[in-house]
Chains A and B, each alone.
Chain A
Amino acid sequence: MSEKKTKRRDFLFTATTAVGAVGAAAVVWPMIDQMNPDASVKALASTEVDVSSLTPGNTLTVLWRGKPVFIRRRTQEEIDEARSVKMEDLIHPEKDEDRAKNPEWLVMLGVCTHLGCVPLNDKGDYNGWFCPCHGSHYDTSGRIRKGPAPWNMEVPKYEFVDANTIKIG
């Protein structure tokens, strides 16, 4: 350790190791990335749903990207209930106005944000949804009110193509 001078050999050693590490990483990455969603999975990005038969107070469940999507045609009471909640009472504060642009229609992933179960309709302490797996309660806006789930049920990107058709994704 008395000689601290860097020698040519040390430089070569470090440089070779560095190039080797980059090479190894370049080979490992494809092995890791192959597990990510492939092109065929990504291609199923959107789906169109006919909602003409849905009457107020009912929910339609459709499959989108392997996950259920709840399309709820809400009654006036449900809308009023959702909009009268104070923000400070919410675990994950979100305005109902932001979640349901058209108040009559609530579109969201039917996936509990705790561990991914499908919550049950018209159940729970807040007249919305109840997850049977670990007891999360959601309100009429699909917002988490009680239980272990950390977030509100996710609202996916969607639009009304015409009066009776919703395009999800």
Chain B
Amino acid sequence: MQTQLKLDKEKMSDHDYRPKSKVGQWFNDRLPLLTLANHLTDYPTPKNLNYWWTFGGILTFCLITQIVTGLTLAMHYIAHADMAFESVEHIMRDVNYGWLIRYIHANGASMFFLAVYIHIFRSLFYGSYKSPREIIWILGIIIYLLMMAAAFMGYVLPWGQMSFWGATVITNLFSAIPLVGEGIVTWLWGGYSVDNPTLTRFFTLHYLIPFLILGLVVLHIWALHVPGNNNPVGIDIKKPSKDTVPFHPYIVIKDGFALLMFMIVFAFFVFYAPNILGHADNYIEANPMVTPAHIVPEWYLLPFYAILRSVPDKLLGVVAMLSAILILAVLPWLDTSKIRSAVFRPLYKQFYWILVADVLILGYVGAMPAEGLYLLIARVATAYYFLHFLVILPVLGFKEKTLPVPLSITEPVLGGSPNLAAARNKESKIE
């Protein structure tokens, strides 16, 4: 941690910034917005960041897209059980460009989750959650939880069959809580079933949550700017130094390029397959008398849904599903290895890819009926998911023989191949 303190002192140069113009100085002395802008443009960034690091910027874009399209949809949507379904069709058919705004918003949710999953798995691969970045990571998990809440409530608003029954199933999860569960569910519903009071409060909360996320994103970035970015080599670096480049223009351009690529994928879904990620059942108006034959959540919640269904007990199933998410919050302390990047952890790298496969398998069986072979696979995959975090990661930190880590980012480049450089630094440690 000694190095960390020194780094902070070097970063003090931020505060020495002074605007050139008199007006700028006058303003900045009263509200140092220009100092903030200067910090953001000059922010020293590791020069070896790869494209997996562009998803923070992409996620910011996703959030803003959802807020803007959401605001415009709210101008036409009617949050009432008798009119919601019709008002969505009104948006699709009558409102100028309503179809476009709605398709961007609906597919935007999927794109948001696609980006966040890449962002999370980037962290897992390069050990970005480790000291001193635990708070960034935990803030990220809270944002992820809020995203799931917002997405779920947003899905209820069109008041289709999947909206209604999805809402019924998810709110009923709370009934698993002993003693007070039923009371909580009635309170959530504002009645004895999902109905108009439920819809209006979900609309209110769906409107609120993105702004909570926005606030948390500010904290997330703030916490990031204290230690600075992790990087593919996973070592602490001096900032600013030969190992860093200023955020603007280097990272801005790289993020911008990645964002363009991402927008192509986004546009493909919006214009060519706007309903492929949804369910046809949601174009049938909510009917409390008939449950669709096969209730499935949106794709981004499927792994957790599979975990829920793999446990034959109601309360334990809910506990397992919540634990699967909350276990991520304590990940920085479950992973006992001091080496951050999987590049230098040959065993962890293999287990990482097994985990990726495990989560994909859970997602697949989550979409299938919970019976026979699917149920068996779901159970094995669920067990492995917890095994990875609770057993493999803690043990690996002690047992694994890690590869030698370079002292700086430039060293492997200037000193020839990484292996040569690594060989010379056999005794080097990360701190």
Contact = CB atoms under 8 A, between A and B. Distances in A.
Our verdict on whether A and B bind, yes or no, reads: yes
A114 interface: yes
A135 B370 contact: yes
Interface string B168-208: 11111101000000000011111111110100010000000
A65 B313 CA distance: 28
A167 interface: no
B173 A115 contact: yes
Contacts of A38: 190, 197
A169 to B, nearest CB: 10
By secondary structure, the A interface counts as loop
Determine the interface band of chain A, counting residues with CB < 8 A from chain B. 20 to 34
Interface in B281-340: 288-295, 309, 311-315, 317
Contact of B291 (A41, A63, A133, A147): A133
A65 B312 contact: no
A131 B293 CA distance: 9
Contacts of B169: 115-117, 133
A61 B290 CA distance: 10
B314 A66 contact: no
B94 interface: no
A140 B242 CA distance: 76
Interface in A121-169: 131-135, 147-150
Given A37-B191, A135-B370, A66 B288 contact: yes
Interface residues of B, number: 38
A69 to B, nearest CB: 10
Given A148-B313, A148-B317, A135 B371 contact: yes
Contacts of B289: 61, 63, 68, 118
Given A135-B370, A148-B314, A150-B314, A67 B291 contact: no
A19 to B, nearest CB: 28
A41 B172 contact: no
Given A148-B314, A149-B314, A35 B188 contact: yes
A134 B193 contact: no
Contacts of B191: 37, 41, 65-66
B186 A36 contact: yes
A78 B197 CA distance: 39
A36 B188 CA distance: 7
A128 B168 CA distance: 23
Interface of B: 165, 168-173, 175, 186-195, 197, 201, 288-295, 309, 311-315, 317, 369-371
Interface of A: 32, 35-38, 41, 61, 63, 65-68, 114-118, 131-135, 147-150
Given A115-B170, A147-B312, A150-B315, 5 more contacts: A67-B192, A115-B168, A135-B371, A148-B311, A148-B313
21 contacts: A35-B187, A36-B190, A37-B190, A37-B191, A38-B197, A41-B197, A66-B191, A66-B192, A66-B195, A67-B192, A67-B288, A68-B289, A115-B169, A116-B169, A117-B169, A118-B291, A132-B293, A133-B165, A135-B369, A147-B312, A148-B309
